[in-house]
Amino acid sequence: MRSEAAAQLGGLERFASPGKGRGLRARRRFAVGELLFSCPAYAAVLTVSERGSHCDGCFARKEGLSKCGRCKQAFYCNVECQKEDWPMHKLECASMCTFGQNWHPSETVRLTARILAKQQIHPERTQSEKLLAVKEFESHLDKLDNEKRELIQNDIAALHHFYSKHLDYPDNAALVVLFAQVNCNGFTIEDEELSHLGSAIFPDVALMNHSCCPNVIVTYKGTLAEIRAVREIEPGEEIFSSYIDLLYPTEDRNDRLRDSYFFTCDCRECVTKEKDKEKLEICKLNDPPSAETVKDMIKYARNVIEEFRRAKHYKYILCLTLTPLVELLEICELSLDKMGAVFEDSNVYMLHMMYQAMGVCLYVQDWEGALRYGQKIIRPYIKHYPSYSLNVASMWLKLGRLYMALKNRMAGVKALKRAIAIMEVAHGKDHPYISEIKKELEDH
C-alpha cells in the first residue's frame, strides 16, 4: 500500500519552470486547505534551547521525557524514539560528554553532520527524495562573496573540531558545496507561535520555487513537513511557497532573497508593488514629512531591524540577565518614538519594533505590556499578510492566551477561534496544535 505522501505526490510533477530552473507543478486541481503532499525530514536537529521540552527524535512536545543515559542532554518520548535517533545522536553524544560546556557547534554544523552521516548510512534515495535528491540541491557556489565563503570555512573547522569519531569527511571542496547547499535549502521548523524548534532538510519541499504571492504553505507535524493549498490551484499551475517573511515592502523582500537565495522575485506582487504604499504608510500631518525625511527614516528603520535580525530569536538571548532585556525593551520604545514622528503605527517598520517589544514583554512576563503591543499589531498584520498567514494565526494565538491569562475569557475565546480558523487551513484540522488549543478553550 502506498503511503499518503506517495499518493499525494501523484497529483504533482517536477518540471522545467521558465526562468526559474526546476519546479513543482500541479497535475490536478487542489482546493483551499487540501494537502498536496507531505515529506519526512531527510535530516533534522532540535535546537539546544528546546531540549527537555521536545523529543530530540520526533520533536514532539511532551512532559516527562527520558534523557539519554550517556550525555544526559538529549531527551526522548520513549525507547523507540531513542533507538530511531541513535544513528544521528551518536554523532553528538560522545562529543558532548568530551567537551562539556565547551560543546557549541552551530545548528547548521549539527545539521550538516547529520546529512553526511545519512549519506554514508543510506546512500540510496530516501522517502524524502521522491522528486528531488539532496545531491541535486543548488549551491550557488559561484555567487558566494568572500564573507560567505569565510563563514563556510569556519563551519567546516567546527565540523572537524566537534565531529571526528563517527564521520568520514569528503575533501574541503565537497564540504564547501554541501554547506552552501544547506544554507540555500535548509528549513526552520517552528511551533504554533512561530518559536524556533530546529532545522531540517526536506528535499521534495525544496523543489518548490518562491513567490511573494504563494499558493501553498509549509507547516510541520514534528519532523514531517506538510504542504497545503492556501488558494485554489488549477491543473498545470506551478506550486509556489514563500521563502521569506512577506510583511516587508518589495525592496526589502528582494534584498533578503538576493542575499540568501541569489535571485530577484518577479511575482505579481513584486512587479506591481501594489502593497508597498500601505506597508510604508506615513503620518497624516498638516505639514507632511519631506521625501528626504521619509527616506532617512526608512534607512534608520532598516538598520535597527538588521541589528535585531542578527539575534534571530529571543531564545538566543535567554542566557542573559534581566537587565539587558530591559535595555532591549528601551531600545524598542525609543525606536518606536523616533519612527512614530514619521510613520503610522501600521507601517511595517513600526510593526517590526512592536513585535520585538512584545517578545521582551512576554519573556519578562509583563502580560499587560505584551497585550498592548499585540493589540496594535493584529489589524495591520491582517491587512499586510496573505490569507491564512501563520504570522496572523500566531498573533491571534498569542493574544488569545494573553487575554485568558488576564481573565478576559470572552476576548480570549474570540482570538483563539480566529487562530484556529486559519490553522485548520494551514495545518489541517487534525493537527495536534489545534487539538491543544481546543483543549485550552475547554479548560477555560
C-alpha cell at 102: 565547551
What are the CA-CA distances from residue 49 to residues 45, 46, 107 (Å)?
12, 8, 11
Q: Where are the domains of the chain?
A: 42-201
Q: Count of alpha carbons within 13 Å of 115, Cβ hemisphere only? A: 29
What are the CA-CA distances from residue 430 to residues 162, 221, 253, 433, 440 (Å)?
40, 10, 33, 9, 16
Note the pTM of the prediction, 2 decimals.
0.92
Confidence check: pLDDT of 4 > 90? no
Q: In this structure, what DSSP letter does residue 176 have?
A: H
Contacts (Cβ under 8 Å, ≥6 apart) of 368: 406
Tens-place pLDDT, residues 353-396 = 999 999 989 988 999 999 999 999 999 999 999 999 999 999 99
Whether residue 219 contacts residue 390, with contact meaning beta carbons closer than 8 Å, is answered with yes
* Architecture of the domain defined by 42-201: Orthogonal Bundle (1.10)
Whether residue 434 contacts residue 427, with contact meaning beta carbons closer than 8 Å, is answered with yes
Backbone angles phi, psi at 33, to 5 degrees: 90, -5
Compute how many other C-beta atoms are within 10 angstroms of the C-beta atom of residue 236: 11
Tens-place pLDDT, residues 9-60 = 779 999 999 999 999 999 999 999 999 999 999 999 999 999 999 999 999 9
C-alpha cell at 148: 560567505
Confidence check: pLDDT of 5 > 90? no
- In this structure, the dihedral spanned by the alpha carbons of residues 341, 343, 348 and 350, taken in order and rounded to 10 degrees, is 20
Residue 133 pLDDT level (bands cut at 50, 70, 90) = very high
